């Protein structure tokens, strides 16, 4: 038995967004995830990207509260083939303690395996903002310690995230237990366990990142809380999707990460 999860930053309302939306739907449908964590989803007065995706793919949805910038919202969402209930929507803090505009949304999925908690988040993006991302990761760990329930018996928390950080950074090292974080909880990095290549999700051959100063990096993660009941939540395999549609139009400026996780019998 397994749970298929997917995480993807959809590049907000940038670029050829109407053509990209069709590719996004096709890519998610082909990957056939049970649960999808999305970042940079948008809406305006007439269109809601998440609702459109949920309708096209026949999925249930929970999202961050809409925060608008120049008439368009920017946020995160969890979609599921089974009913789900949003349990939290939090702003993440900056290093100085002030609230950032980055958020995390958490939901409980009514899966055939039981109530399975899932969260989607997106950390600060500037290359020089490691201190802010560390504060955001610490708060995420504190929240996750409550969302996961009883680590000896409950299903583990799955987090889909654009961490905007590569694996050897202090913020990712904190999340995965390599440096001091929050007592009693760390995350397993699914790609580190079963990925079979560098797992880059930000690529120099993507037409939208051609002028980027830092392509060919792994920025997007599927994370599973630990401790957890063995072997539930352990990754079976992981892969990336979203590698273009044509030379000029890709679905997003990020690839999506997909993984199959061990589920209870």
CATH number at residue 22: 3.60.10.10
Per-residue confidence (pLDDT) for residue 46, from 0 to 100:
85
Per-residue confidence (pLDDT) for residue 150, from 0 to 100:
96
**Residue 5 pLDDT more than 90?**
yes
Per-residue confidence (pLDDT) for residue 69, from 0 to 100:
79
- In whole angstroms, give the CA distance from residue 117 to residue 192: 22
CA terminus-to-terminus distance, the chain: 6
- Segment 191-242, tens digit of pLDDT: 999 999 999 999 999 999 988 888 899 999 999 999 999 999 999 999 999 9
Q: Name the one residue in this structure whose structure tokens are 């007065």.
A: 45
**Residue 245 pLDDT more than 80?**
no
For 221, the enclosing helix (H) or strand (E) is strand 220-226
- Segment 7-27, tens digit of pLDDT: 999 999 999 989 999 999 999
Per-residue confidence (pLDDT) for residue 244, from 0 to 100:
77
Confidence band of 72 (pLDDT split at 50, 70, 90): confident
Containing domain of residue 217, as a range?
A: 2-262
DSSP structure string for 229-252? STTTT-EEEEEEE---SSSS--S-
- Segment 225-235, tens digit of pLDDT: 999 999 999 99
Given a contact cutoff of 8 angstroms between Cβ atoms, the answer to whether 265 and 229 are in contact is no
- In whole angstroms, give the CA distance from residue 21 to residue 71: 19
Q: What does the block give as tokens for 221?
A: 């993660």
136 DSSP assignment: H
Q: What does the block give as tokens for 63?
A: 């999202």
- Segment 141-181, tens digit of pLDDT: 999 999 999 999 999 999 999 999 999 999 999 999 999 99
**Average confidence score pLDDT of the chain:** 95
- Segment 250-265, tens digit of pLDDT: 999 999 999 999 999 8
Give the ranges where the chain is alpha helix by DSSP (H).
17-31, 49-57, 130-147, 170-175, 190-194
Per-residue confidence (pLDDT) for residue 147, from 0 to 100:
97
112 DSSP assignment: T
Number of folded domains that form the chain: 1
- In whole angstroms, give the CA distance from residue 182 to residue 141: 6
Q: What does the block give as tokens for 37?
A: 């964590």
Per-residue confidence (pLDDT) for residue 211, from 0 to 100:
87
Per-residue confidence (pLDDT) for residue 149, from 0 to 100:
94
Calculate mean pLDDT across residues 43-66: 93
- Segment 94-134, tens digit of pLDDT: 999 999 999 999 999 999 999 999 999 999 999 999 999 99
Per-residue confidence (pLDDT) for residue 265, from 0 to 100:
87
**Residue 246 pLDDT more than 80?**
no
Given a contact cutoff of 8 angstroms between Cβ atoms, the answer to whether 161 and 123 are in contact is yes
């Amino acid at each position: 038995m397994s749970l298929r999860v997917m995480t993807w930053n959809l590049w907000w309302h940038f670029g050829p967004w109407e053509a990209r939306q069709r590719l996004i739907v096709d890519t998610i449908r082909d990957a056939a995830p049970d649960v999808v964590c999305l970042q940079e989803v948008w809406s305006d007065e007439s269109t809601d990207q998440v609702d459109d995706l949920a309708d096209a793919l026949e999925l249930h949805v929970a999202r961050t509260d809409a925060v608008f910038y120049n008439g368009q919202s920017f946020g995160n969402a969890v979609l599921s083939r089974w009913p789900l209930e949003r349990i939290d929507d939090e702003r993440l803090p900056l290093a100085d303690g002030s609230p950032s505009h980055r958020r995390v949304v958490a939901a409980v999925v009514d899966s055939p395996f039981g109530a399975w908690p899932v969260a989607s988040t997106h950390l600060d993006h500037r290359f020089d903002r490691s201190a802010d991302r560390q504060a955001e990761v610490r708060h995420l760990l504190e929240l996750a310690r409550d969302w996961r329930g009883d680590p000896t018996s409950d299903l583990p928390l799955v987090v889909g995230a654009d961490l905007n950080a590569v694996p050897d950074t202090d913020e990712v090292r904190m999340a995965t237990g390599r440096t001091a974080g929050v007592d009693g909880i760390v995350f397993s990095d699914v790609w580190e366990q079963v990925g079979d290549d560098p797992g880059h999700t930000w690529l120099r051959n993507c037409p939208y990142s051609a002028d980027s100063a830092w392509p060919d990096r792994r920025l997007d993660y599927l994370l599973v809380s630990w401790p957890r009941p063995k072997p539930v939540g352990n990754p079976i395999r992981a892969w990336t999707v979203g590698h273009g549609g044509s030379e000029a139009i890709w679905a997003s400026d990020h690839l999506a990460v997909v993984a199959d996780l061990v589920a209870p019998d």
